[in-house]
Amino acid sequence: MTDTIRKSVLPPQAFTAVALEIESLPALKPKMIATIKAKDYCVREETLDGRMLTIRGIRSDDKEMLQEGMHHLSKESIYARFFTFKSELTDNELKYFTEVDFVNHVALVASLDTPAGERPVGVGRYIIPDKVPKENKAELAFTVDDEYQGLGIGTILMKHLIVIGRANRIERFVAYVMPDNRRMRDVLRRAGLPIKYKQDSAGILEITLTLE
Ligand X SMILES: CC(C)(COP(=O)(O)OP(=O)(O)OC[C@H]1O[C@@H](n2cnc3c(N)ncnc32)[C@H](O)[C@@H]1OP(=O)(O)O)[C@@H](O)C(=O)NCCC(=O)NCCS
Q: Which residues bind ligand X (CB under 6 A)?
A: 48, 77, 80-81, 141-144, 149-155, 175, 177, 181, 183-184, 186-187
Find out whether 207 and 175 touch, Cβ atoms under 8 Å.
yes
Query: By beta-carbon distance, which residue lies closest to ligand X?
Result: 154
- Give, in order, the Cα–Cα distances in Å from 114 to each of 17, 22, 183, 192: 30, 36, 25, 31
Residue 37 vs 185, nearer CB to ligand X:
185
What gap in Å lies between CA 196 and CA 204, rounded to an integer?
14
Those residues whose C-beta lies under 8 Å from the C-beta of residue 150, and which sit 6 or more positions away, are 48, 183
Residue 133 vs 179, nearer CB to ligand X:
179
Residue 35 vs 143, nearer CB to ligand X:
143
Angle at 148 between CA 110 and CA 126, to 5 degrees: 40
Residue 29 vs 182, nearer CB to ligand X:
182
